């Protein structure tokens, strides 16, 4: 049982609650998830199982797509509707083009404010724990990238947007900053993750539909089915010993369309993923980065 199961996380359940639920169903050597979703957010949560955990570093930086609803005229301490209201404003209805023009100001690389009620650590302590104790916290910022952002619907005072963004983007900070730009304030009202890299809604299974080990196996995406847009090489049995010692694996044939540093799947003749590597076209080899299914090698 190696790979990923894509869970459709419901509102009110933390990301780790999903892990706890799966652990009650069956035992795993390793289990983890990519991309924490807040308790009140919904949508896809990729859960790595056993050897799949080794692939997390190569998948966690992928683009994410969210469908978000902002409520205008409200500012909270957490930047979402669950927080304590610190400012409330009467807001006139905006023209849609005004909202669209202001949303586009966030497109590209931006410096984003980190919510004080977040898991970001300062001196090994999460910000939210310091905030709950009333500790005065200096504003902190980070650089993220908004690849695309568009208005999907507007029913005053709710603005619905779709955003394509980089790892680490706080959509609730985006709501806060958008509200400040409009001059009326705003808070995140609802959030759903539609896609994380190559994982999308069509792959997702609802939590309530995962009741047995067989349900997990039925919905498991094997390691070899990942990195669909990357390169792959199939090696003969004698070459598998090279993997154990971290030796480069030769690329047979043309490397004309190979890119330096391109992630490459190394598969057995039977189609099992044995390792993930980095392509080096100049030497016509793939350097092994991480062994997968090491027990089968």
As a whole number, mean pLDDT of residues 53-77 equals 96
Pairing between strand 263-267 and 231-234? parallel
pLDDT tens, position by position, 98-141: 999 999 999 999 999 777 665 665 666 656 655 565 666 666 77
The catalytic residues are: 38
Residue 135: the pLDDT is 61
Burial tier of 139 (Cβ tally within 10 Å: 0-12, 13-18, 19+): exposed
pLDDT score of 221: 96
All residues at 6 or more sequence positions from 279 whose CB lies less than 8 Å from its CB, including other chains: 231, 251, 255, 258, 259, 260, 261, 262, 263, 264, 286
| CA-closest candidate to residue 82, choices 153, 182, 11 | 11
Backbone angles phi, psi at 82, to 5 degrees: -80, -15
Task: List, for residues 148-205, the tens digit of each pLDDT value.
Answer: 999 999 999 999 999 999 998 999 999 999 999 999 999 999 999 999 999 999 999 9
| 3-39 tens-digit pLDDT | 999 999 999 999 999 999 999 999 999 999 999 898 8
Q: Kindly list the structural domains of the chain, giving each domain's residue range(s) and its CATH number in brackets, ordered by start.
A: 3-62+198-223 (3.30.2350.10), 68-190 (3.30.2350.10), 227-296 (2.30.130.10)
Alpha-carbon distance of 236 to 244, in angstroms, equals 14
Question: At which residue do the structure tokens 């955990």 appear?
Answer: 53
Give the per-residue pLDDT at 254.
84
pLDDT at 89 over 60: yes
Q: Tell me the pLDDT band of 297, cut-offs 50, 70 and 90.
A: very low
Give the pLDDT of residue 296.
Answer: 40
């Amino acid at each position: 049982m190696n790979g990923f199961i894509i869970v459709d996380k419901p509102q009110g359940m933390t990301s780790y609650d999903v892990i706890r639920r799966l652990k009650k169903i069956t035992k795993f050597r390793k289990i983890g998830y990519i991309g924490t979703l807040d308790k009140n957010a919904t949508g896809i949560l990729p859960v790595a199982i056993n050897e799949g955990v080794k692939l997390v570093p190569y998948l966690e930086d992928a683009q994410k797509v969210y469908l978000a609803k902002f409520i205008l005229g409200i500012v909270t301490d957490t930047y979402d509707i669950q927080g304590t209201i610190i400012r409330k404003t009467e807001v006139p209805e905006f023209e849609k083009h005004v909202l669209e023009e202001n949303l586009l100001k966030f497109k590209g690389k931006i410096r984003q404010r980190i919510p004080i009620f977040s898991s970001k650590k300062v001196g090994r302590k999460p910000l939210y724990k310091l905030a709950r104790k009333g500790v005065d916290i200096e504003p902190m910022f980070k650089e993220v990238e908004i690849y695309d952002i568009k208005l999907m619907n507007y029913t005053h005072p709710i603005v619905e947007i779709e955003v394509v963004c980089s790892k680490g983007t706080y959509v609730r900070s985006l709501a806060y900053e958008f509200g400040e730009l409009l001059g009326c304030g705003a808070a995140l009202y609802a959030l759903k993750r539609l896609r994380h890299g190559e994982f999308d809604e069509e792959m997702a299974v609802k939590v309530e539909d995962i009741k047995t080990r067989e349900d997990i196996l039925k919905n498991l995406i094997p390691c070899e089915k990942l990195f669909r847009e990357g390169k792959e090489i199939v090696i003969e049995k004698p070459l598998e010993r090279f993997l154990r010692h971290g030796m480069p694996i030769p690329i047979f044939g043309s490397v004309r369309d190979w890119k330096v540093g391109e992630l490459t799947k190394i598969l057995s003749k039977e189609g099992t993923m044995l390792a993930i590597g980095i392509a080096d076209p100049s030497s016509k080899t793939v350097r092994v980065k991480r062994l997968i299914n090491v027990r089968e090698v």
